[in-house]
């Protein structure tokens, strides 16, 4: 089986680190945006604030994964194009 694909050194480790920090960043951004929106709307009830923050953080997770995936796909396609 002949294959021209070579694994870049450290790419799995780099992807893992990027996913961890992307997850943390997206959760933080979701909570921050929800807190800002709730402050603008004048919501003061702690259970409502907590519920909206949880929903916003859960909604922000796929965005974080998407951004990391796009960055690695762009990195991968750039390295394939430079080899040709």
Label residue 31 by pLDDT band (50, 70, 90). Answer: very high
pLDDT for res 51? 96
Given a cut of 60, whether residue 23 has pLDDT beyond it is yes
Higher-pLDDT residue of 59 and 84 is 59
From the list 31, 81, 32, 77, the residue with the least C-alpha distance to 54 is 31
C-alpha–C-alpha distance, residues 15 and 10, integer Å: 9
Q: pTM of this prediction?
A: 0.72
């Amino acid at each position: 089986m002949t294959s021209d694909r070579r694994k870049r050194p450290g790419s799995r480790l780099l992807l893992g680190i990027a996913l961890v920090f992307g997850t943390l960043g997206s959760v933080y951004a979701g909570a921050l945006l929800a807190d800002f929106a709730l402050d603008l709307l004048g919501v003061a009830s702690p259970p409502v604030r907590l519920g909206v923050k949880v929903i916003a953080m859960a909604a922000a997770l796929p965005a974080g994964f998407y951004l990391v995936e796009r960055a690695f796909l762009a990195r991968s396609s750039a390295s394939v194009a430079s080899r040709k």
